[in-house]
Each structure stands twice: as structure tokens, then as C-alpha cells.
Structure 1
């Protein structure tokens, strides 16, 4: 299953050259991951409140392939790549009119509120499988 998250490039997203500032792609894919997880029925606020667990990015492998510019209509595509007892790996692509501009492989881990590693709750592993 691929989740699709549309967005538009605003002036604030660009640098002096008028292209999307490289770090903003990380913000774009973060928003898309949040909506993907929400769409699966995973309530991250409840997970923190009830179980004291949060998701954190452990690793990002990113490729910048082509620039996005002011007013571009983009789509972030998110697919689940792998799930283990303690990790979630997602592939994300930022596209414009079907052309991939940015690609990333993102590894998420589950942490306690004190920052210690934790296993993914069984109900979340079940949703993701």
C-alpha cells in the first residue's frame, strides 16, 4: 500500500536560488509519515500518553535527484519497506508530475519517554503487517 500526501511549495520553503531548501524535504516526508500512520489508525498521542512510547527517526538515507521550486505541486509517496520487533523502515519519494525529485529510506525506532529503546507494541506490529 502506498500513501499519497499532496503539498505545495511555498516561498518559505525555498532558498535564495528559488529552489526548495534541502532540509525542507525532511519536513515534507515527516508530515507525510505522520499522516500515513494516522491513516492506519495509530494514535501517536495516545501511544505516548497510555504506553509512554514514541517513534524517533534513527536513520535517513536520502538522494536529492532534481529541484522543486516555488509553487510546485508535489506528492510525497510513502510505502512500508520493513517491520521488525523494534524498527519500522519506510521508503519515501517526493514527486512532481510523476517525476521523483527526492528519495529516502527512513528507519524509525520505538523509544520510551526517557529515550531507551523499546519493542513496538504487538497491536502496532499487527497493523503494519
Structure 2
């Protein structure tokens, strides 16, 4: 699976270089590491909006646990690959959001991107005091098209 590299200034892309700690004995990105890489991408997405997990907890009294996820693996990632992690809000409800994250790498000698893994995460906004679902804060998704 490939896409053309056409950066949209309104889109958010996190860039990650695959290092030794990301790989397994065969030299491929260990499947569990994609969850960590995707989480770093979401943390950067928040940071670009002037937010952090600490700020969400201390100032907004919310946490954002993952309720469900589905992952697909297409090609193995390898040591020194530069991964481009894109995320798209596929659905946003009052207290839940579905985020699709895709890990891609450039094909050699090309601007074309190859999809190597993807995940769809269902994330819930939860009140830190009651531990019950809570409406998303106003403005959190302003930069999104949905």
C-alpha cells in the first residue's frame, strides 16, 4: 500500500526514526512498539495545541484512555527507517473519538510513501474524579475537519 507524499499544512505528521530498541531479533520493528510510537504521535499532537497529559489532568480533570484498538501490519519496518505517522479523526462523539493512525515510510529513491502499519483507536474522555465519561473540552479538535 502506498500513497504520494503531499504534505498538507493543516495535517499533523509525526516523524520517528527506527532505532535498535524498536526492533526484534529479526531486525524488524516489534509489533508492540507501534503502540508506543503512535502514542508519542498523539502526545505531540496535543503539544502542538498547547496541551499535555499533565495539563489535561491538572487543569481539565480529564484522562484519555484507549477503550479499544485494531491494528494491521502490511510490511515490516526496519532499523533506520524514517516513519511518518499520520493521524486522522475518523469519528468524534460527545465523549469518544476514533483516531486512525498510519505508519508510512518513503520508498527508496522516491517521494512515494508505503504504508507499513495502521491502527484505529477508540479513545474516551474520562473525568478524573468520577472516572465516568465526560464531554470533550471545547476547542480540542478545532484544527480537525470533522
Length-normalised TM-score, structure 1: 0.89
Matching residue within 117, 121, 129 for 1:102: 117
Is 1:112 matched up with 2:121? Answer: no
Secondary structure, aligned partner of 2:90: strand
Q: Is the Cα contact below 8 Å between 2:125 and 2:133 reproduced in 1?
A: yes
- Greater per-residue helix proportion: 1
* Number of positions where the alignment pairs a residue of Structure 1 with one of Structure 2: 129
Structure 2 match to 1:16: 25
| RMSD, matched Cα | 1.9
Length-normalised TM-score, structure 2: 0.79
Is 1:40 matched up with 2:49? Answer: yes
- Greater per-residue strand proportion: 1
Runs of at least 5 residues in structure 1 that lack an aligned partner in the other structure: none
> Structure 2: how far apart are the matches of 1:43 and 1:82?
22
Per-residue CA shift, 1:15-62, capped at 9, x if unaligned? 000100000000111111111122234443222112321111111111
> Structure 2: how far apart are the matches of 1:32 and 1:40?
13
Per-residue CA shift, 1:55-90, capped at 9, x if unaligned? 111111110111001111111011111111100111
Q: Which runs of 4+ in 1 moved over 4 A?
A: none
